Amino acid sequence: MTFYGTELSSRLMLGTAQYPSPDILAGAVRAAQAGVVTVSLRRESAGERAGQAFWSLISDLGVPVLPNTAGCHTPREAVTTAQMAREVFNTDWIKLEVIGEQDTLQPDVFGLVEAARILTEDGFKVFPYTTEDLVVAERLLRAGCEVLMPWGAPIGSGKGLNNVFGLRAMRAHFPDVPLVVDAGIGRPSHATQAMELGYDAVLINTAVAQAGDPVGMARAFRLAVESGLAAREADPMDERDMAAPSTPVLGLARFA
């Protein structure tokens, strides 16, 4: 899996928020064998350098970091946060979030495209959190994005893939663009489904962090992603509307 010319060790991307403890977070990242971890600038508190312990923990894991603009509601706020994140985390990668609706945390796709254009012109490698809308996807690609991250369902909902038709259409419409299902995945089976649809990676946070056993759940998601990828590469059978016997009828004994 390659994003912006960087090869990753895994197709599972893991968020770092809401874990019961730093030790459990570290254990989950290792169990997932995550290819990328996402981090929010808001964890780097300015007061008494309170975020330094967290940043030290993430650095020690040796996993590529994808900062995000979580909680931003305007292009200006997202751009400013991204610029600060580049200085703090020393990377030009940014997961771009511009939230437009508070209850569903649905992206503001108009602000998202505007912010993506500004950031790519500023040298950022943008990973936009978006919907499965094909027109919005086209606009983001024109703005300079080389990766798209459509949601499966609202953030933290655990509902899985709400619009399989839309996600399948996006994969078919952009066969050469790296696509990541981001948000809404609640179970390993959801991750497997996303990989079977042809998606290149999945990003998980809440489903692992809030599990009864985050480390065990991280391991389960790793296996689910591997299973979905293996199934896709093995070329699954097509669905049928009618039954088809698995045992050939020709050659069977007939009794009068």
Give pLDDT, residue 88.
Answer: 87
Give pLDDT, residue 54.
Answer: 79
Task: Exactly one of 95, 125, 139, 190 is catalytic; name it.
Answer: 95
The answer to whether 197 and 167 have CB atoms below 8 angstroms apart is: yes
d(CA 248, CA 256) in angstroms, rounded, equals 20
d(CA 20, CA 210) in angstroms, rounded, equals 8
Give pLDDT, residue 243.
Answer: 87
CA neighbor of 209 nearest in space, from 37, 86, 7 = 37
**What are the angstrom distances between the C-alpha of 190 and each of 124, 164, 168, 181, 239?**
30, 11, 14, 10, 19
The answer to whether 27 and 215 have CB atoms below 8 angstroms apart is: yes
Please say if 95 is a catalytic residue.
yes
Residues 242, 244, 246: CA angle, nearest 5 degrees: 155
Give pLDDT, residue 248.
Answer: 72
d(CA 61, CA 37) in angstroms, rounded, equals 10
Residue 208 token pair: 């692992």
Q: List phi, psi (to 5°) of 11.
A: -95, 10
Q: What share of the chain is helix, strand, coil (3-state, %, to 5)?
A: 40, 15, 40
| Binding-site residue ranges for 1-deoxy-D-xylulose 5-phosphate | 156, 183-184, 205-206
Give pLDDT, residue 48.
Answer: 47
| Binding-site residue ranges | 156, 183-184, 205-206
Give pLDDT, residue 46.
Answer: 47
CA neighbor of 35 nearest in space, from 158, 240, 178 = 178
Mean pLDDT by 10 residues, the chain (256 residues): 92 94 94 94 54 79 92 94 92 95 90 97 97 96 97 94 96 97 95 96 96 97 96 89 78 65
Q: Which listed CATH number (1.20.1250.20, 3.20.20.70, 3.40.50.150, 1.10.287.3510) goes with 10-234?
A: 3.20.20.70
Give pLDDT, residue 98.
Answer: 95
The residue extents of the domains of the chain are 10-234
Give pLDDT, residue 50.
Answer: 53
